[in-house]
């Protein structure tokens, strides 16, 4: 029996090799010959003897002896690909990125199994027209950074791409594309990521992109003349858009108001375009923005108070230097006028700043007040804004010979000083409001004007017309004689137009980089984490009260055992495009080998994995034996939450798999593991104890993540299981909250929700433990306990502690924290106790006490904790500390990584370092510091 089992296992794990398919063998031999340094680098052994399926590292085959995987990334390979390459038509995954391959790309025509193809960062010099023909299985392809068809003037994306109906990621940055963005791309419904930066594309975004489901759109930095142009109206129709990189083009017109409908938007780079006018105030209320770059356009009016950690807006025509500062009412009145006539270029260039009396084309002033609007024959289209009624000193309006339509606004009748209103030669329609007889109104030559004679129609003081708004000051009713003379037309001389000089990757990218070792973190789509460390001192009893029939029955310890197996019960989850094939995850985790186990927790084992493109991931695999209803619920809850919630201090999901009995969740790999390991087990793992500064940063990260969870865009989520084992650290020791299996959606944050009791003893708020009713304040309590752990280095609960009163950290800490000597004695001995540190610790101790107040209403909300922590972290910012570079920049900044990738590439070229391949059995060592993996994207990489 056991032998049979082993045999089966053997069959499963080590696919027995049929002899390699002769056709595939011949292609591989061609490949070997066409690579100039394969023998030196790849360990492929004797060219004649070997069966590549069995013996060539980096080549894998299926059971039929067909090559299905070639993984030669980052290998320093030179040479070309053989023209016979497409005969490998069972090939599914191809990784050739970051080599020095050159020559002509062979056609991939007919490679119907190909799913992932990474050819980026090589020197391929041409691509054949039929390259994409018949690539019907393609999911992800990157050709970034290849000088394709340079000598023949570039290339365009062939229509064959449309046959790849499942294509999710098309990445063609920096590969000499020319012409327009093809229409068919907008109709590819599975496409989530379209990256066409650094090419020579021109023309508008095609109308087929209306309502496109794209999440990532990079069109930035086109280097041709002209560049991409047209308005951004289509961008605002994309409901899933997270990253819109449009900088370094000729996009024009105003930023559409409806941009706020892109609810998931996190990066909006619009710098260095020709955008004009007022920025929609709706941007100010968007949650989740991380980077907004508006520099170097012709934006006018107030600098909007946008809430984004990275926000730039210089080199525009704004009226103020700082966000949220209002413009003068005159300026606003004129800008609203300008908006309604569609921001004509000439006026936009001149109407900037906050003084409409200095050099504004067509505006005349007396004593700082606008008295004349003189814009004859300016080709103005659109309507006359009723905001003109707010220019209370206006005496002369000349709009002769434009193309204005609509009605004459009632608000103009409130202009007490108005003498002349010449609207002749437009296309206005009546009726005309009633003006005082002293006003000379001329509407001749408006062919469709139906209420002919001036004054013939009754004035309608409609609600919303600005007649009621126009301020009239006492004593202004009578027009003094001399005012008639005071108007002098001030014609502005040439105004320097803000020229959109594109400083290459500049504005969006000129920033500090995080110093990173190891692989670069994946970007937006591929965020996140693995739950508990294997090593977690889960002597903390995790409780989940299972309640199927309304009676709370509590299970302790392993809550899973004994649950009935309902593996076949497929719970439907609608989460969009996060599905990843189990097969891919098997490959990434070396078939879930024991060596890759990172930890066990929340209903499964967590494995480390490496995707084809080198991205490190963590895969949580639900154990088949324990797939209970409840486990499935948690699985679903986690997916549902993670796909909705995105914040740099919350782990988010890369994908999941549901196939047969498999339930897998994929997160970003957090290299430093759980906070608990660093606090309680640093000795055991031979780690450096965390400095107080790091602890403060972690506290702030957690507070920010929780604040977001609690207040997420009108929704409120309660984590219910915040603890140091669920706080994970990246390689920079910045923290993210993980494990969302117990998160509860609270329809209204202030309202308590009755739930099954869940969470972990030691962190549970008393009222929740007693009543099972939960509010966000229960998380605040848990946060307070985590702060105590950070201060003391003691676990929340430890039954083995000698003094009974110290066993429950929360209650003990509250007793001692006010007594300075006892507090000093309780501080983690690894922390220095300089006056400065102690002062800082005291503040956090007080915050911890506040957060763990007995009465939930007395606990602060997470926003308060953030406010307390921000200045502490800042105060504690020693000079030259690298980790501080991280501030304000997050993992969702692939351009940074991209530029970094280029820098590294350059550095590695100049120092000529060659990769050592001593360990040629295993995977090829990655290049130092995340080379161009960072350039290709995220999930697909």
Active site residues: 721
Nearer to ligand NAG, 370 or 831 (CB): 370
Q: How far is the CB of 179 from ligand NAG (least distance, A)?
A: 11
Closer by beta carbon to ligand NAG, 146 or else 840: 146
- Give least dist CB 150 to ligand NAG, A: 5
In the bound state with ligand NAG, the residue whose beta carbon lies nearer, of 207 and 815, is 207
Cα–Cα distances in angstroms (integers) from residue 192 to residues 99, 188, 735, 891, 932, in the given order: 27, 9, 28, 19, 21
DSSP 67-91: EEEEE-TTS--EE---TTGGG-TT-
* DSSP annotation of 651: -
Asked if residues 532 and 540 have their Cβ atoms less than 8 Å apart, the reply is: no
Give least dist CB 369 to ligand NAG, A: 4
CA distance 474 to 497: 41
Q: Select 201 or 528, whichever has its Cβ closest to ligand NAG.
A: 201
Contact 97, 142 (CB under 8 A): yes
Q: How far apart are CA 218 and CA 220, in angstroms?
A: 6
Query: Which residue, 383 or 577, is less far from ligand NAG as judged by CB?
Result: 383
Residue nearest to ligand NAG (CB): 368
To the nearest whole angstrom, how small is the minimum distance from the Cβ of residue 155 to ligand NAG? 9
Q: Nearest to residue 699, comparing CAs of 814, 830, 871? A: 871
Q: How far is the CB of 897 from ligand NAG (least distance, A)?
A: 18
Extract the tokens encoding 118: 């990474």
Question: Minimal distance in Å, beta carbon 428 to ligand NAG?
Answer: 12
Does the bond joining 431 to the residue before it have cis omega, within 30 degrees of 0? yes
Judge whether 767 and 856 are in contact, CB under 8 Å.
yes
In angstroms, the CA 305 to CA 293 distance is 13
Tokens of 895: 């351009």
Q: How far is CA 39 from CA 52, 67, 335, 385, in A?
A: 13, 19, 68, 74
Q: Where are the beta strands (DSSP E) in 92-220?
A: 93-95, 100-101, 116-118, 140-142, 169-171, 178-179, 193-195, 200-201, 216-218
Nearer to ligand NAG, 82 or 401 (CB): 401
Burial 499-510 (b: 16+ CB within 10 A, else e): ebebeebbbbbe
Q: φ, ψ for residue 326 (rounded to 5)?
A: -75, 155
Q: How far apart are CA 798 and CA 130, in angstroms?
A: 67
Rounded distance between C-alpha atoms, residue 273 and residue 710, angstroms: 37
What minimum distance in Å lies between the beta carbon of 708 and ligand NAG? 38
Measured in degrees and rounded to the nearest 5, phi and psi for residue 292 equal -130, 120
Point out which residues bind ligand NAG (CB under 6 A): 147, 150, 153-154, 174, 176, 198, 200, 342, 344, 367-369, 379-381, 393, 400, 403, 424-425, 442, 444-445, 473
Note whether 144 and 197 are within 8 A (CB).
Answer: no
**How far are the Cα atoms of 526, 605, 615 from residue 598, in angstroms, in the given order?**
19, 8, 16
Report the Cα–Cα distance between both ends of the chain, in Å, rounded.
42
- Is the distance from CB of 279 to CB of 301 less than 8 angstroms? yes
Say how far apart CA 243 and CA 268 lie, in whole Å.
Answer: 6
Which of 425/856 has CB closer to ligand NAG? Answer: 425
Q: Helix 692-711 to helix 862-875 angle, to the nearest 10 degrees?
A: 150
Per-residue tokens: 709: 């969870």
Q: Percent helix, strand and coil across the chain, each rounded to 5? A: 30, 20, 55
**Residue in this structure with the two tokens 């930023």, named with its chain if needed:** 255
In the complex with ligand NAG, the residue whose CB is nearer, 476 or 867, is 476
195 a known binding residue?
Answer: no
215 vs 424 by CB, closer to ligand NAG:
424
Number of residues that this document lists for the chain: 941
Least spacing, CB of residue 379 vs ligand NAG, in Å: 4
CB nearer to ligand NAG: give 153 or 550.
153
Task: Judge if the upstream peptide bond of residue 226 is cis by omega within 30 degrees of 0.
Answer: yes
Q: What is the sign, positive or negative, of the torsion defined by CA atoms of 118, 120, 126, 130?
A: positive
Considering the complex, state which of residue 328 and residue 920 has its C-beta at the smaller distance from ligand NAG.
328
Q: Please classify residue 269 by burial: count the beta carbons closer than 10 Å to its beta carbon, then call 0-12 exposed, 13-18 middle and 19+ buried.
A: buried
Who's near 419: CB < 8 A, 6+ residues apart? 395, 396, 438, 439, 440, 479, 484
> Least distance from C-beta 492 to ligand NAG, angstroms?
16
The least distance separating ligand NAG from the CB of residue 344, rounded to whole angstroms, comes to: 3
Rounded least distance, CB 331 to ligand NAG, Å: 12
3-state DSSP assignment of residue 5: helix
If the CB atoms of residues 144 and 613 are measured against ligand NAG, the closer one turns out to be 144
Q: State the pairing for strand pair 116-118/93-95.
A: parallel
The minimum distance between CB 409 and ligand NAG, in angstroms, equals 19
Bind-site residues for ATP:
620
Bind-site residues:
620
């Amino acid at each position: 029996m056991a032998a049979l089992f082993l045999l089966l296992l053997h069959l499963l794990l080590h696919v027995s090799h049929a002899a390699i398919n002769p056709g595939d063998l011949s292609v591989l031999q061609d490949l070997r010959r066409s690579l100039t340094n394969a023998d030196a680098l790849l360990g492929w052994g004797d060219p004649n003897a070997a069966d590549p399926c069995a013996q060539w590292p980096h080549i894998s085959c299926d059971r039929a002896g067909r090559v299905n995987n070639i993984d030669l990334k980052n290998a320093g390979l030179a040479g070309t690909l053989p023209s016979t390459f497409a005969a490998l038509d069972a090939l599914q995954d191809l990784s050739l990125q970051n080599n020095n391959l050159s020559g002509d790309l062979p056609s991939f025509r007919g490679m119907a199994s190909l799913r992932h193809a990474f050819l980026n960062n090589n020197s391929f010099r041409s691509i054949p027209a039929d390259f994409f023909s018949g690539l019907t299985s393609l999911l992800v392809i990157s050709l970034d950074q290849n000088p394709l068809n340079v000598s023949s003037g570039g290339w365009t994306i062939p229509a064959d791409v449309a046959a790849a109906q499942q294509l999710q990621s098309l990445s063609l940055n920096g590969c000499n594309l020319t012409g327009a963005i093809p229409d068919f791309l907008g109709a590819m419904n599975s496409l989530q990521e379209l990256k066409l930066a650094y090419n020579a594309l021109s023309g508008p975004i095609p109308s087929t992109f209306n309502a496109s489901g794209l999440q990532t759109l990079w069109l930035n930095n086109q280097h041709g003349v002209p560049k991409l142009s047209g308005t951004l109206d289509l961008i605002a129709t994309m409901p899933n858009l997270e990253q819109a990189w449009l900088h370094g083009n000729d996009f024009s017109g105003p930023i559409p108001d409806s941009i706020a409908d892109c609810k998931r938007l996190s990066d909006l780079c619009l710098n260095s375009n020709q955008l004009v006018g007022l920025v929609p105030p709706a941007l100010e209320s968007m949650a989740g923005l991380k980077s907004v770059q508006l520099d170097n356009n012709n934006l006018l009016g107030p600098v909007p108070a946008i809430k984004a950690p990275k926000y730039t807006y210089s080199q525009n025509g704004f009226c103020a230097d700082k966000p949220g500062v209002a413009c003068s009412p005159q300026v606003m009145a004129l800008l609203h006028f300008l908006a309604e006539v569609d921001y004509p270029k000439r006026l936009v260039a001149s109407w900037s700043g906050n003084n409409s009396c200095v050099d504004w084309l067509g505006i005349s002033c007396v004593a700082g007040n606008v008295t004349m609007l003189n814009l004859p024959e300016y080709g103005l289209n659109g309507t006359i804004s009723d905001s003109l009624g707010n220019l209370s000193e206006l005496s002369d309006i000349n709009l002769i010979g434009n193309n204005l339509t609509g009605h004459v606004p009632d608000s103009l009748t409130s202009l007490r000083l108005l003498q002349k209103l010449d609207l002749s030669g437009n296309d206005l329609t009546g009726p005309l409001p009633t003006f005082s007889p002293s006003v000379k109104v001329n509407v001749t030559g408006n062919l469709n004007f139906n209420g002919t004679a001036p004054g013939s129609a009754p004035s309608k003081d409609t609600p919303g017309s600005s007649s009621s708004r126009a301020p009239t000051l006492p004593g202004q009713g009578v027009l003094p004689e001399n005012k008639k003379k005071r108007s002098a037309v001030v014609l502005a001389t040439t105004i320097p137009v803000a020229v959109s000089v594109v400083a290459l990757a500049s504005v969006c990218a000129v920033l500090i980089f995080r110093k990173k070792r190891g692989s670069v973190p994946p970007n937006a789509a591929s965020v996140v984490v693995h739950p508990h460390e294997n090593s977690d001192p889960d002597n903390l009893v995790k409780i989940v009260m299972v309640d199927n029939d309304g009676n709370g029955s509590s299970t302790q310890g392993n809550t899973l055992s004994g649950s009935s197996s309902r593996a076949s019960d497929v719970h439907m989850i609608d989460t969009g495009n996060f599905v990843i094939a189990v097969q891919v995850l098997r490959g990434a985790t070396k078939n879930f080998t024991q060596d890759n186990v990172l930890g066990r927790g929340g209903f499964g084992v967590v494995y480390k994995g490496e995707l084809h493109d080198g991205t490190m991931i963590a895969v949580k695999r639900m154990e088949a034996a324990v797939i209970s209803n409840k486990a499935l619920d948690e699985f679903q809850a986690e997916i549902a939450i993670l796909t909705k919630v995105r914040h740099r201090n919350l782990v988010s999901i890369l994908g999941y798999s549901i196939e047969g009995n498999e339930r897998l969740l994929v997160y970003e790999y957090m290299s430093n593991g759980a906070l608990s390991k660093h606090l309680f087990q640093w000795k055991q793992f031979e780690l450096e104890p965390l400095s107080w500064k790091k602890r403060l940063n972690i506290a702030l990260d957690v507070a920010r993540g929780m604040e977001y969870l609690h207040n997420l865009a009108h929704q409120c989520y309660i984590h219910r299981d915040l603890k140091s084992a669920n706080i994970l650290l990246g390689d920079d020791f910045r923290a993210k909250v993980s494990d969302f299996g117990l998160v509860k959606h609270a329809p209204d944050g202030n309202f308590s929700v009755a739930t099954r009791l869940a969470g972990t003893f030691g962190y549970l708020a008393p009222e929740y433990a007693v009543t099972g009713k939960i509010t966000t304040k229960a998380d605040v309590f848990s946060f307070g306990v985590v702060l105590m752990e950070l201060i003391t280095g003691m676990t929340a609960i430890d039954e083995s502690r000698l003094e009974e009163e110290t066993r429950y950290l929360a209650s003990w800490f509250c007793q001692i924290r006010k007594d300075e000597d006892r507090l000093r004695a309780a501080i983690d001995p690894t922390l220095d106790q300089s006056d400065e540190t102690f002062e800082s610790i005291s503040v956090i101790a007080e915050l911890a006490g506040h957060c763990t107040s007995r009465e939930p209403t007395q606990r602060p909300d997470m926003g308060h904790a953030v406010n307390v922590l921000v200045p502490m972290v800042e105060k504690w910012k020693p000079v030259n500390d690298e980790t501080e570079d991280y501030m304000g920049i997050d993992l969702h900044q692939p351009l940074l990584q991209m530029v970094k990738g280029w820098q590294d590439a350059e550095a590695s070229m100049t120092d000529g370092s060659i990769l050592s391949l001593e360990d040629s059995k295993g995977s090829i060592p990655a290049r130092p510091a995340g080379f161009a993996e960072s350039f290709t994207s995220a999930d697909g990489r």
